[in-house]
Amino acid sequence: MSDKSTASIVSISTAVLLTLVKGVAGFMIGSLALLSSAVDSVLDILSSTINYFAIKKSEEPPDEKHPFGHGKFESLATFLQSFIIFLSGAFILYKSYEKFMSKGTVKNIDSGLYVMIFAIVSTLILTLYLRMVARKTNSSILKADAMHYEIDILTNAGILISFVVIKFTNLHIIDPLISAVISVYIIYSSVKLSVEVSKDLLDVELPEEIKKDIVKILNSFDNLHVDFHKLRTRRSGSQKFLDLHLTLCKELSLSDAHKIADLIENRLKDKIVDLDVTIHIDPCDIKNCPGIDACNDSKLRLELDKISNDGG
């Protein structure tokens, strides 16, 4: 089982535990904020379950119908998760309004405090774990899942503060007010997440810092190529795609031209994780192109021969 799949299962298990604890405690003490948080945890279960199956699908190798792989399943699941988060925020906002109008009270504050401390600690550990795996695997879906649980930490902290305020001031109206603030933040976060993941679905270019790394590597081979052009990038889940045209000396043999393209491709893949590179070679139209002399350089010849021996 992959790291991403394992992280998703851990996420589901934690969400189930928190749902049970928050739900039971919320009914017992009559706290809408705590019940709202339990509802959010139910949606966490749904989101993490969707993520698990999306990750399993995205890890399948390319096939006849999906020659570029299945990475977009991650992006699609992330977009769906943003919609689920939005619905949970809207539901909590509605229930906050209902309780504000009915002026409900919270009982047994101490139990609520203990539950929220447990929830905050559990969610913090889970978030750190998801962030670590997301960085390691460059997974957009796990980044979204981690962000979802970061929101939960904030909502849980808000509920904890409301319980402390109620305990010392007896202002029970703070419960639906805190719940409403939490819901607005959840809705904002869902919109932000949907905007970010839509960039992958719409094939927006890779971030500028990655493109700068690509250009820097290409420029480091100035002595081998005349120029590069038609550079295009996009992302599909954790997979990144790059294609470009590389102009080489027309006097080069097909074998050497292929080796140069392989050399550049390998350097790009060494620098940028999960990068799929497609290089189209164009012959130059310069009468006395210097590229042929560069390829006779002894150091470069060793590199090209090594690629050939490695099966490049």
Structure tokens belonging to residue 4: 């991403």
Three-class DSSP category at 234: strand
What average pLDDT score do residues 212-227 get?
82
Q: Give the pLDDT score at 48.
A: 77
Convert the pLDDT of each residue in 153-206 to its tens digit.
Answer: 877 887 788 788 888 888 777 777 877 887 788 788 788 878 877 777 777 788
More confident residue, 280 or 207: 280
Residue 202, number of CB atoms within 10 A of its CB:
9
- Cα dihedral 98, 103, 172, 18, rounded to 10, equals -30
What residues does each domain of the chain span?
3-201, 208-309
CATH superfamily of 3-201: Cation efflux protein transmembrane domain (1.20.1510.10)
Confidence of residue 289 (pLDDT cuts 50, 70, 90): low
User: What is the sign, positive or negative, of the torsion defined by CA atoms of 213, 217, 222, 226?
Assistant: negative
Q: Give the pLDDT score at 243.
A: 92
More confident residue, 253 or 217: 217
Confidence of residue 294 (pLDDT cuts 50, 70, 90): low
Residue 250, number of CB atoms within 10 A of its CB:
16
- For 136: left if phi > 0, alpha if psi spans -120 to 50, otherwise beta; the answer is alpha
Q: Which amino acid is at 151?
A: I
Confidence of residue 310 (pLDDT cuts 50, 70, 90): low
Q: Give the pLDDT score at 24.
A: 85
Sequence-distant contacts of 19-26: CB under 8 A, at least 24 apart: 19/44, 19/45, 21/115, 21/118, 21/119, 22/115, 22/119, 25/111, 25/112, 25/115
Convert the pLDDT of each residue in 233-245 to its tens digit.
Answer: 888 766 788 999 9
Query: Which helix or strand (DSSP H or E) is residue 231 part of?
Result: strand 227-236
Q: Give the pLDDT score at 290.
A: 58
Quickly name the fold that domain 208-309 has. Answer: Alpha-Beta Plaits (3.30.70)
Convert the pLDDT of each residue in 21-48 to its tens digit.
Answer: 888 887 887 776 677 778 777 777 877 7
* DSSP assignment letter at 280: E
Answer yes or no: same fold for 3-201 and 208-309: no
0.85 cut: is pTM over it? no
More confident residue, 298 or 62: 62
- Which residues lie across from 236 on neighbouring strands? 239
Convert the pLDDT of each residue in 253-273 to its tens digit.
Answer: 788 888 888 888 988 998 888
pLDDT at 100 over 60: yes
Q: Give the pLDDT score at 295.
A: 54
Sequence-distant contacts of 256-260: CB under 8 A, at least 24 apart: 256/295, 256/304, 257/281, 259/304, 259/307, 259/308, 259/312, 260/221, 260/224, 260/225, 260/295, 260/304
Measured in degrees and rounded to the nearest 5, phi and psi for residue 240 equal: -115, 145
Least trusted range by pLDDT, from 78-87, 113-122, 296-305: 296-305
